[in-house]
Amino acid sequence: MDDLTPTSAPPRGGRGYPLAVAVAGALLMCCAVLPWAGLQATSSLIGGSVTGDVRGVDDVYGVYTLVAGLAALACGVAGLRGHPRLAALAAVPGGVAVLLLVLFMNEGSGLHDRVSIHLGDLLSIEPVIRFGWFAALASAAAVVVLALLALLHRRHR
């Protein structure tokens, strides 16, 4: 009958959130080298388009976002190495990265100084937001959310 008695669950290491913070920080770093914005010229006359892209690291806000991703990665790794509360500090660089991404669109090499020109079907020139900016924003938001979850997880233990 001793085999049927319930046993206590093994202690949880609490490494899930710090690992997730580290991964999200690494993704944020990778997203800083992707294209964030561009200028696209389209012509139905020739049936094609030409684009010019701006990568994140081509602007100072992208470089700062790269550094914020590195800081978030460091916080996540510190959380994995036995200090889980340090993973919660990644909310600061994650929040800064969100702010930097917004500033990129408003003040940096983003879309604020680009004009749209439409000459019927002949030529259309317009600014575009590239996938890298959206991926960086999602990664930065993930860093913030996961860091806050790491903090709440530590408080409830």
pLDDT at 27: 96
Arithmetic mean of pLDDT over the chain: 83
| 50 CB burial (10 A radius; 0-12, 13-18, 19+) | exposed
Structure tokens, 96: 């800064």
Q: Where are the domains of the chain?
A: 15-36+55-107+127-155
Instruction: Indicate whether 150 pLDDT > 50.
Output: yes
Rounded CA-CA distance 91/73 in Å is: 11
Identify whether the C-beta of residue 33 lies closer than 8 Å to the C-beta of residue 118: no
Rounded CA-CA distance 19/2 in Å is: 38
Average pLDDT over residues 88-106: 93
Average pLDDT over residues 18-23: 93
CATH fold label, 15-36+55-107+127-155: Four Helix Bundle (Hemerythrin (Met), subunit A) (1.20.120)
Instruction: Indicate whether 3 pLDDT > 50.
Output: yes
pLDDT at 9: 44
